[in-house]
Amino acid sequence: MLKTNEKNLVKMLIQGKIAYPVKFSSGFNIDHNGKGFDLPSIGGINLNVQIGDTVYDWEGDHVEPGVSTCFDIDKRNSQQNIGFNFYSCAGNKATIISACDKKIIGKTGTVIGHHGGAEHVVMDFPQDILEKMTYKDEIMVTSFGQGLKLTDYPEIKLYNLCPELLKKMKITEKKENNKKTLNIPVTAIIPGELMGSGVGSISVGTGDYDIMTMDREYLKKHNLLNLKFGDFVAIVNHDNRYGRCYREGAVAIGIIIHSDCKMSGHGPGVTTLIADVDGIIKPVISKDANIGNLLKIGRFR
pLDDT digits (tens, 9 = 90+) for 241-267: 999 999 999 999 999 999 999 999 999
The C-alpha atoms of residue 33 and residue 44 are separated, in whole angstroms, by: 28
Closest by alpha carbon to 274, among 184, 179, 164, 194?
184
Residue 102: pLDDT band (50, 70, 90) is: very high
Average pLDDT in the 33-38 region?
94
Tell me: pLDDT of 24 over 80. no
Query: Which CATH number do you get for residue 161?
Result: 2.102.30.10
**Domain co-membership, 130 together with 247:** no
Please tell me whether residues 74 and 192 are part of one structural domain: no
pLDDT at residue 129 is higher than 80? yes
Q: Running DSSP on this structure, what letter comes out for residue 64?
A: P
Contact, 279 vs 235, CB < 8 A?
no
Q: Give the separation between CA 60 and CA 266, rounded to whole angstroms.
A: 13
In this prediction, residue 91 carries a pLDDT of: 98
Nearest CA among 204, 271, 211, 210 for reference residue 244: 204
CATH number of the domain where residue 118 is located = 2.40.10.170
CA end-to-end span of the chain, whole Å?
26
Phi then psi for 46, rounded to 5 degrees?
Answer: -90, 115
- Looking at residue 144, its pLDDT comes to 98
Please give the residue range of the domain that contains residue 140: 6-144
Closest to 167 in 3D by CA, of 291, 286, 69, 57: 291
Cα 299 to Cα 187: distance, rounded to the nearest angstrom:
16
- Overall domain count for the chain: 2
Q: Are residues 108 and 162 in the same domain?
A: no
pLDDT score at 175 = 87
Domain boundary among 144, 166, 187: 144
Residue 27 resides in a domain: yes
- Are both 162 and 127 inside the same structural domain? no
Same domain for 120 and 17, yes or no, is: yes
Domain presence at residue 229 = yes
pLDDT band at 26 (very low <50, low <70, confident <90, very high): confident
Residue 225's pLDDT is what? 98
pLDDT band (50, 70, 90) for residue 115: very high
pLDDT in tens, 200-251: 999 999 999 999 999 999 999 999 999 999 999 999 999 999 999 999 999 9
Q: How far apart are CA 301 and CA 266, in angstroms?
A: 30
> Do residues 179 and 80 share a domain?
no
- The torsion of the CA quartet 56, 65, 68, 223, rounded to 10 degrees, works out to -50
Mean pLDDT of the chain: 96
